[in-house]
Amino acid sequence: MDDEDSFRQILKMILEASFPTMAIDESGGGDVLQKVDTFRPDLIFMDIQLSGENGLELIKKIKATYPDISILILTGYDTPEYREAASRYGANRFLVKSSLNRMDLEELMKIYLKA
């Protein structure tokens, strides 16, 4: 879930090309909890800043109901405070958008797909 349409579209295209059998859905923020209830994903990429709600608060809500869903923070806000908060709220991993490349993304996905 990310509020930047272009970033979400690029991420989705990379994932679909690398993992063609994977079902992928997306959200800009407002309907995240409804989509999680309906789709029941194994893995969520979550930004911290979303339209309508804070990504960290959403992680807390999702993990309360679905503790087995892996949630990876994928954000442009790389601060120690956000890293600590992401861990405290239940994020499984903290990634910075500017440092993520296609190869890293594919390797990361393979790790979570095996789990």
Tens of pLDDT, residues 73-99: 999 989 999 999 999 999 999 999 988
Q: What average pLDDT does the structure give for the chain?
A: 88
Fold classified for 5-114: Rossmann fold (3.40.50)
Q: Are 40 and 60 in contact (CB under 8 A)?
A: no
The encoded tokens of residue 35 equal 């989509």
Confidence of residue 2 (pLDDT cuts 50, 70, 90): very low
pLDDT on residue 8: 85
Domain boundaries, the chain: 5-114
Q: Which distant-in-sequence residues (6+ apart) come within 8 Å of 108 by Cβ?
A: 72, 93, 95
